């Protein structure tokens, strides 16, 4: 699939598709080149404005989820700590696409680090609406968050239904020629099925696994989170995430962005071994806002100390 570049869009280089640069740790995804394979996961680093120096070092940042209209988010408590992780129920608090474009996005300048906008909505049309509004802005691409409840489909999360995933991807695809990543859920669905649906519908890549649906109670026996239930993340979900990423990577030809409980360079490598081309780090950012830099350095150190060097990593990460 060739696409003419939008004048404002970032440079795409189709020739470098499916290659990890031998001169460093650059990776290419749908024609967009990232300086390294580590992304800051949506919702775990805000809009990057608190720590721009950290963002600059990363492959890129995925913004908080943007919806057509502002969302206040869920009542507190929004975070509940559990063994080796957290359950969150932030509820997509965001300023809405208009304020995002007018006020936030102009400040999101992070040098060579790419900006992806995470897109969410209540309906298929809302996803396309947000993508359309941002398409002419200087962002590298979009990540479709298909794990929000869909009222029209009777409360079933979009991401559990391959047909709905396909419809959302198609609608978004019509709205942009930029990099389109579909962020899949692993809740009550085989990610191989939804990954294939996203691929067939024109997604350039898939990312997974987002959080794992979870329930917690406080000491008094009430639901611990203001939103009632939440999503589990952190090292607690890493083995499950690795499994899901491997499964998705074996099912599709498009690149996979893996994530779930990464806290070290070694973890990054494991996700690449599972078939991911890039990774997302999330919960660890809450513990240390500079974790991305540490993880990158650990990953580089590990890779360089191996005989075969970074090239081999690139081969490992390919799905073909």
Main-chain phi, psi angles of 208, to 5 degrees: -165, 155
Stretch that binds another protein, among 3-11, 75-83, 174-182, 193-201 (CB under 8 A): 75-83
Shortest spacing between CB 118 and another protein, in angstroms: 13
Asked if 77 and 19 count as a contact pair (C-beta separation under 8 A), the reply is no
Whether the Cβ atoms of residue 227 and residue 74 lie closer than 8 Å to each other: yes
CB of 246 vs another protein, minimal distance in Å: 22
Label the pairing between strands 27-29 and 205-208: unpaired
Q: Which of 8, 13, 14, 50 binds another protein (CB under 8 A)?
A: 50
191 binds another protein (CB under 8 A): no
- C-beta closer to another protein: residue 90 or 115: 90
Q: How far is the CB of 289 from another protein (least distance, A)?
A: 5
Under rule CB under 8 A, residue 298 binds another protein: no
Q: According to CB under 8 A, which residues from 116 to 175 bind another protein? A: none
- Torsion on CA atoms 98, 54, 111, 66, rounded to nearest 10: -20
Helix (H, G, I), strand (E, B) or coil at 250: helix
- Comparing CB distances to another protein, the nearer of 103 and 215 is 103
Q: Does 52 bind another protein (CB under 8 A)?
A: yes
Q: Interaction with another protein in 265-284: which residues (CB under 8 A)? A: 283
Contact 275, 243 (CB under 8 A): no
Q: Which of 2, 7, 11, 72 binds another protein (CB under 8 A)?
A: 72
By CB atoms closer than 10 A (0-12, 13-18, 19+), residue 211 is: buried
Known catalytic residues are 148
Nearer Cβ to another protein (3/71)? 71
Measured torsion, CA atoms of residues 15, 146, 173, 67, in degrees rounded to the nearest 10? -110
- Which residue lies nearer to another protein by CB, 159 or 230? 230
For residues 29 and 143, give the distance between their C-alpha atoms in angstroms, rounded to a whole number: 12
The reply to whether 286 sits near another protein by the rule CB under 8 A is yes
* Site of tokens 């009777």: 154
The 10 Å Cβ neighbour count of residue 270 is: 19
Footprint of another protein (CB under 8 A): 43-46, 49-54, 64, 70, 72-79, 81-86, 88, 90, 93-95, 99, 102-104, 107, 226, 234-235, 263, 283, 285-290
């Amino acid at each position: 699939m060739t696409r003419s570049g939008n004048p404002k869009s970032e440079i795409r280089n189709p020739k470098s598709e499916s290659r990890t640069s031998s001169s460093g740790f650059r990776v290419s995804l749908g024609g967009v080149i990232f300086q390294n394979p580590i992304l800051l996961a949506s919702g775990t680093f805000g809009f990057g404005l608190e720590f721009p120096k950290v963002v600059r070092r990363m492959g890129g940042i995925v913004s908080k989820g943007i919806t057509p209209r502002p969302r206040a988010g869920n009542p507190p408590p929004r975070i509940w700590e559990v063994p080796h992780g957290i359950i969150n129920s932030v509820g997509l608090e965001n300023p809405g696409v208009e304020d995002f474009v007018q006020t936030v996005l102009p400040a999101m300048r992070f040098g060579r680090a790419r900006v992806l906008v995470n897109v969410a909505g209540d309906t298929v049309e809302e996803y396309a609406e947000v993508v359309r509004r941002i398409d002419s802005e200087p962002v590298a691409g979009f990540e479709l968050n298909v794990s929000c409840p869909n009222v029209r489909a009777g409360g079933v999360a979009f991401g559990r239904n391959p047909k709905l995933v396909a419809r959302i991807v198609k609608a978004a695809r019509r709205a942009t020629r930029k990099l389109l990543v579909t962020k899949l859920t692993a809740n009550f669905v085989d990610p191989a099925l939804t990954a294939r649906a996203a691929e067939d519908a024109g997604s350039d890549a898939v990312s997974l696994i987002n959080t794992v649906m979870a329930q917690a109670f406080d000491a008094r026996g009430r639901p611990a989170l203001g939103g009632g239930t939440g999503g589990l993340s952190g090292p607690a979900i890493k083995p499950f995430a690795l499994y899901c990423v491997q499964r998705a990577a074996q099912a599709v030809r498009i690149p996979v962005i893996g994530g779930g409980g990464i806290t070290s360079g070694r973890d990054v490598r494991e996700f690449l071994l599972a078939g991911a081309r890039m990774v997302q780090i999330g919960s660890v950012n809450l513990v240390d806002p500079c974790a991305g830099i540490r993880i990158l350095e650990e990953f580089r150190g590990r890779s360089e100390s191996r005989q075969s060097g970074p090239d081999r990593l690139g081969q490992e990460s390919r799905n073909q």
